[in-house]
C-alpha cells in the first residue's frame, strides 16, 4: 500500500537509488539503449516519404515512451502539444499519451479503491463500470454513478511512487552527466530544472493535494462565467483516489471535432489564453499541465468566449508577486521597444547574471524580439522566438532559472494547444491587448507604478507615442475593438479623481512646465488622443456591443 509518500529530495533519493545498484545500473542501461535504438531509427527513417514507414515509426515512438513509464510519458505529453515541432503523423500518435494509454488491470484498480476508501466499488457507487473511460500517465478514470449523478473516479497506477522516484533520479543523473555533450545551452540549471520537474511529479501523485489545488483554482475563477472546475467529492477521495463531478464536454484536441459538435474553435482559444494569462499575471497560481486531455469545451458561452472546463489539478505552481510584475514590465518594454530595460528585466528574473553588461544585449534582443508589433507580428509565435533565443543563448550567458521551468512548460503547451485548433494563431494578438487593458484598468499600486512609467518619462514629461501605442494595441489590434472602451474609460476616470490618482494628477501638472514656462503642446496631443479614442460614437458602439454580447 502506497498511502504514505515522501517529498522529493534530490540528495536523499540519489542516495536511496545508489544503495540499490541492482535497480540503478540495469535501468540506466535500458534507458540509454532504448534511446540509442530510437535515435538510429529516426536517423534512418525520419525523412522517409513512405506513409507506412512514418506510421510505424510514430507507433514505435509511442511504444518507447509508454514503455519507459510515467516520467517519460509526462515529457512526451509536452511534445504532443506542439504541432509546430512534431510531424503531424507523429503528433496524432503522441496525442494518445494524454489520456489514451494502456490501462492497468481493472482488478488492481478495484483493490486500490477498496484499500483507500474502505469499501468495494459496488458498495460505494450505484453503478461502476468494468473498464475505464480514459487512461493517462498517472492514473485511469472511471465514469461511476450515484444518486442519478455521474462522477469521474480517478484511480492511481500501482507502484507509482517507486517508479517516479527511480526515474527522476536517473533523469537527473543522465541530464547532469550528458549536458556538456548535448546541443543545449541552458546555463547551470539542467539539474535544477529536473528537480523542479521531480517536485511537481511528487506533488501530482498526492491526490489529497490535488483536491486542495482544485478548490483553490475554482475559488480564483468563481466570478468567471466561462471557466468551469469540477466539484471534488471528498467522501470518495483519498491519497490515491480522487473523485469529481463528471464534465460532459469535448476535449480541445481537434478543430474538426469541435465543429462537429457545433462549437466555435476560436472562442475556446480566447477563453483558454485569457484564463492562462490571468493565472500568471493576476492570480500568481497556474495550471502547469494544460494539454488537450485536461481541457474541455462546453456548450454555452458565446462567439467571443466559449465555456471551458479544466480538469486534473495535480501539476500546479505559483509565481511570486515580484516575478509577476517584472514579467508585465518586460511585456510593456517589448511593446515600447525598450531593449535595455528588457535586459534589466531578464537580469532581475535571473535569466542573466548581475555582472552581465546589459548594453551589449540591446541589439541582439532587438533582433530577436524587434518588430513583434510591426510587420513581423503575423509570423510571431513562441516557436520563432525560441529558435532565435536558442542561437542567442550560445553567444550570451542566458540561463533558465529553475522556477521558470513549469511556467515555460505551461505557456508553450497552451500556445501549442491553440495552434492545434488554429494553425494561424498568434499569441500576441490576445496577450498584448490583455496586458494593455490590465495597465489601463487595474488600479493596484504596482500596476499604477508600471502605467506611470509608460505615460511619463524620467523627467516627468508625457510620452505621447507610448500612450498612443498602448491604446492602439487595445483598440486597433484587438479582435473585439469596442467592448473594452467603456471599462477602460470608467477605470481611467475613477483613477484620475481617486486618492491613488494623486501621482497621475501631479505628474500631469509637472509635465506642463518646461524651462519654467507653461507648455501645453503635449497636453493638447494627449487630450486629442483621448478624445479620438473615447469619442461619443465609439462609446455608443461599445455600449451596443456589450448589450448584444449579453443577449
In order, the DSSP letters of 441-498 are H---HHHHHHHHHHHB-TTS-B-HHHHHHHHHHHHTSSSSTTTTHHHHHHHHHHHHHS
DSSP-derived secondary structure letter, 130: S
Handedness of CA 502, 507, 512, 513 (dihedral sign): positive
Q: What is the mean pLDDT of residues 439-450?
A: 77
What pLDDT is stored for residue 485 in this prediction? 52
What pLDDT is stored for residue 97 in this prediction? 76
Q: Which of 97, 127, 160 is the last residue of a domain?
A: 97
Task: Count Cβ atoms below 10 Å from residue 268 Cβ, excluding itself.
Answer: 27
What pLDDT is stored for residue 398 in this prediction? 74
Specify the higher pLDDT residue, 87 or 149: 149
Say how far apart CA 421 and CA 237 lie, in whole Å.
34
Q: Which of 71, 97, 123 is the last residue of a domain?
A: 97
* Contacts by 427-431, CB closer than 8 A, 24 or more apart: 427/273, 427/380, 427/381, 427/382, 428/372, 428/373, 428/377, 428/380, 429/377, 429/477, 429/478, 429/479, 430/269, 430/270, 430/273, 430/274, 430/277, 430/479, 431/273, 431/277, 431/331
* Whether residue 457 is found in the same domain as residue 510: yes
**In-domain check, residue 214:** no
**In-domain check, residue 218:** no
pLDDT greater than 90 at residue 33: yes
What pLDDT is stored for residue 478 in this prediction? 46
Enclosing H/E stretch for 314: none
Q: Which of 362, 396, 426 is the last residue of a domain?
A: 426
Say how far apart CA 391 and CA 381 lie, in whole Å.
16
Lowest mean pLDDT across 102-111, 245-254, 312-321, 481-490: 481-490
Specify the higher pLDDT residue, 331 or 133: 133
Helix (H, G, I), strand (E, B) or coil at 253: coil
Say how far apart CA 124 and CA 228 lie, in whole Å.
26
pLDDT greater than 80 at residue 163: yes
pLDDT tens profile 384-429:
665 566 666 666 777 777 778 778 778 877 877 888 888 777 777 7
Query: Beta strands 295-298 and 513-514: pairing type?
Result: unpaired
What pLDDT is stored for residue 539 in this prediction? 53
**In-domain check, residue 269:** yes
**In-domain check, residue 524:** yes
pLDDT greater than 50 at residue 3: no
Enclosing H/E stretch for 146: strand 139-146
**In-domain check, residue 60:** yes
* Whether residue 359 is found in the same domain as residue 449: no
What pLDDT is stored for residue 534 in this prediction? 56
* Whether residue 366 is found in the same domain as residue 502: no
pLDDT greater than 80 at residue 86: no
Give the active site residue among 13, 195, 289, 317.
289
Say how far apart CA 440 and CA 368 lie, in whole Å.
27
Handedness of CA 75, 46, 84, 384 (dihedral sign): positive
Say how far apart CA 111 and CA 459 lie, in whole Å.
71
* Whether residue 267 is found in the same domain as residue 357: yes
* Whether residue 414 is found in the same domain as residue 433: no
Contacts of residue 52, defined as CB under 8 A and 6 or more positions apart, other chains included, come to none
What pLDDT is stored for residue 208 in this prediction? 93
Arithmetic mean of pLDDT over the chain = 79
Q: What is the mean pLDDT of residues 494-502?
A: 58
What pLDDT is stored for residue 262 in this prediction? 87
Contact at 8 Å (CB) between 450 and 325? yes
pLDDT tens profile 305-314:
889 999 989 8
* Whether residue 280 is found in the same domain as residue 415: yes
pLDDT confidence bin for 447, thresholds 50/70/90: confident
* Whether residue 378 is found in the same domain as residue 451: no
What pLDDT is stored for residue 51 in this prediction? 81
Say how far apart CA 439 and CA 387 lie, in whole Å.
30
Query: Percent of the chain beyond pLDDT 90?
Result: 29
DSSP-derived secondary structure letter, 127: B
* Residue owning grid cell 535515435: 39
pLDDT greater than 60 at residue 210: yes
**In-domain check, residue 121:** no
- How many distinct structural domains can be found in the chain? 3
Query: Beta strands 227-228 and 307-310: pairing type?
Result: parallel
Lowest mean pLDDT across 151-160, 216-225, 378-387: 378-387
Residue 75 in grid coordinates: 515529457
Query: Beta strands 139-146 and 134-135: pairing type?
Result: antiparallel
Handedness of CA 57, 61, 66, 67 (dihedral sign): positive
pLDDT greater than 90 at residue 431: no
Specify the higher pLDDT residue, 422 or 161: 161
Mark whether 289 is an active-site residue: yes
pLDDT confidence bin for 361, thresholds 50/70/90: confident
Q: What is the mean pLDDT of residues 233-237?
A: 94
* Whether residue 406 is found in the same domain as residue 433: no
Contacts of residue 44, defined as CB under 8 A and 6 or more positions apart, other chains included, come to none
Q: What is the mean pLDDT of residues 232-261?
A: 90
The domain in which residue 293 lies consists of 251-426
pLDDT greater than 50 at residue 106: yes
What pLDDT is stored for residue 384 in this prediction? 60
pLDDT greater than 70 at residue 335: yes
Burial state string for 470-499 with b = 16 or more CB within 10 A and e = fewer than 16: bbbbbbebbeebbbbbbebbebbeebeeee
* Residue owning grid cell 525598450: 338
**In-domain check, residue 336:** yes
pLDDT tens profile 38-85:
889 888 887 888 888 888 888 888 899 989 998 888 888 766 665 555
pLDDT greater than 80 at residue 145: yes
**In-domain check, residue 114:** no
* Whether residue 529 is found in the same domain as residue 392: no
* Whether residue 439 is found in the same domain as residue 418: no
* Whether residue 463 is found in the same domain as residue 401: no
* Whether residue 403 is found in the same domain as residue 504: no
What pLDDT is stored for residue 55 in this prediction? 84
Supply angle C-alpha 276, 282, 283, rounded to 5. Answer: 80
What global pTM score does this model have? 0.79
Amino acid at each position: 500500500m502506497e498511502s504514505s509518500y515522501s517529498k522529493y529530495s534530490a540528495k536523499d533519493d540519489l542516495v536511496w537509488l545508489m544503495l540499490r545498484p541492482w535497480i540503478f545500473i540495469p535501468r540506466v542501461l535500458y534507458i540509454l539503449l532504448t534511446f540509442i535504438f530510437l535515435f538510429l531509427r529516426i536517423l534512418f527513417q525520419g525523412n522517409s516519404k513512405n506513409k507506412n514507414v512514418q506510421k510505424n515509426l510514430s507507433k514505435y515512438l509511442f511504444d518507447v515512451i509508454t514503455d519507459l513509464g510515467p516520467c517519460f510519458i509526462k515529457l512526451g505529453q509536452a511534445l504532443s502539444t506542439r504541432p509546430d515541432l512534431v510531424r503531424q503523423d507523429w503528433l496524432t500518435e503522441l496525442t494518445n499519451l494524454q489520456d489514451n494509454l494502456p490501462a492497468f488491470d481493472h482488478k488492481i484498480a478495484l483493490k486500490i479503491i477498496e484499500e483507500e476508501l474502505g469499501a468495494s466499488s459496488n458498495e460505494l457507487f450505484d453503478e461502476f463500470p468494468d473498464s475505464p473511460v480514459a487512461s493517462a500517465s498517472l492514473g485511469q478514470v472511471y465514469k461511476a454513478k450515484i444518486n442519478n449523478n455521474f462522477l469521474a473516479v480517478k484511480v492511481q497506477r500501482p507502484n507509482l511512487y517507486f517508479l517516479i522516484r527511480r526515474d527522476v533520479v536517473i533523469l537527473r543523473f543522465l541530464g547532469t552527466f550528458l549536458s556538456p555533450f548535448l546541443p543545449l545551452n541552458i546555463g547551470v540549471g539542467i539539474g535544477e530544472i529536473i528537480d523542479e520537474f521531480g517536485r511537481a511529479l511528487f506533488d501530482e501523485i498526492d491526490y489529497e493535494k490535488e483536491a486542495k489545488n482544485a478548490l483553490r483554482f475554482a475559488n480564483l475563477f468563481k466570478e468567471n462565467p466561462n471557466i468551469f472546475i469540477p466539484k471534488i467529492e471528498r467522501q470518495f477521495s483519498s491519497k490515491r483516489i480522487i473523485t469529481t463531478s463528471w464534465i460532459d464536454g469535448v476535449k480541445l484536441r481537434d478543430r474538426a471535432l469541435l465543429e462537429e459538435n457545433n462549437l466555435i474553435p476560436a472562442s475556446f482559444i480566447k477563453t483558454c489564453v485569457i484564463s492562462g494569462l490571468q493565472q500568471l499575471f493576476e492570480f500568481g497560481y497556474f495550471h502547469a499541465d494544460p494539454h488537450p486531455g485536461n481541457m474541455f469545451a462546453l456548450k454555452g458561452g458565446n462567439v467571443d468566449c466559449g465555456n471551458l472546463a479544466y480538469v486534473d489539478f495535480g501539476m500546479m505552481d505559483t509565481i511570486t508577486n515580484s516575478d509577476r510584475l517584472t514579467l508585465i514590465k518586460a511585456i510593456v518594454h517589448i511593446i515600447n521597444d525598450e531593449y535595455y530595460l528588457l535586459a534589466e528585466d531578464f537580469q532581475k528574473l535571473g535569466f542573466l547574471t548581475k555582472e552581465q553588461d546589459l548594453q551589449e544585449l540591446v541589439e541582439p534582443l532587438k533582433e530577436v524580439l524587434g518588430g513583434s508589433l510591426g510587420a513581423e507580428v503575423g509570423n510571431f509565435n513562441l516557436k520563432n522566438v525560441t529558435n532565435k533565443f536558442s542561437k542567442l543563448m550560445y553567444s550570451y550567458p542566458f540561463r533558465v532559472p529553475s522556477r521558470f521551468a513549469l511556467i515555460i512548460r505551461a505557456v508553450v503547451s497552451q500556445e501549442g494547444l491553440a495552434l492545434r485548433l488554429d494553425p494561424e494563431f498568434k499569441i500576441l494578438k490576445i496577450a498584448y491587448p490583455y496586458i494593455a487593458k490590465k495597465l489601463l484598468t487595474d488600479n493596484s499600486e504596482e500596476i499604477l507604478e508600471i502605467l506611470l512609467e509608460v505615460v511619463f518619462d524620467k523627467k516627468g514629461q508625457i510620452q505621447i507615442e507610448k500612450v498612443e501605442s498602448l491604446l492602439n494595441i487595445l483598440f486597433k489590434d484587438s479582435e473585439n475593438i469596442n467592448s473594452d472602451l467603456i471599462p477602460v474609460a470608467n477605470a481611467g476616470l475613477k483613477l484620475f479623481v481617486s486618492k491613488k490618482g494623486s501621482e497621475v494628477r501631479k505628474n500631469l501638472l509637472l509635465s506642463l512646465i518646461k524651462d519654467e514656462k507653461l507648455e501645453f503642446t503635449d497636453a493638447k496631443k494627449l487630450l486629442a488622443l483621448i478624445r479620438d479614442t473615447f469619442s461619443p460614437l465609439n462609446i455608443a458602439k461599445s455600449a451596443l456591443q456589450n448589450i448584444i454580447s449579453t443577449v
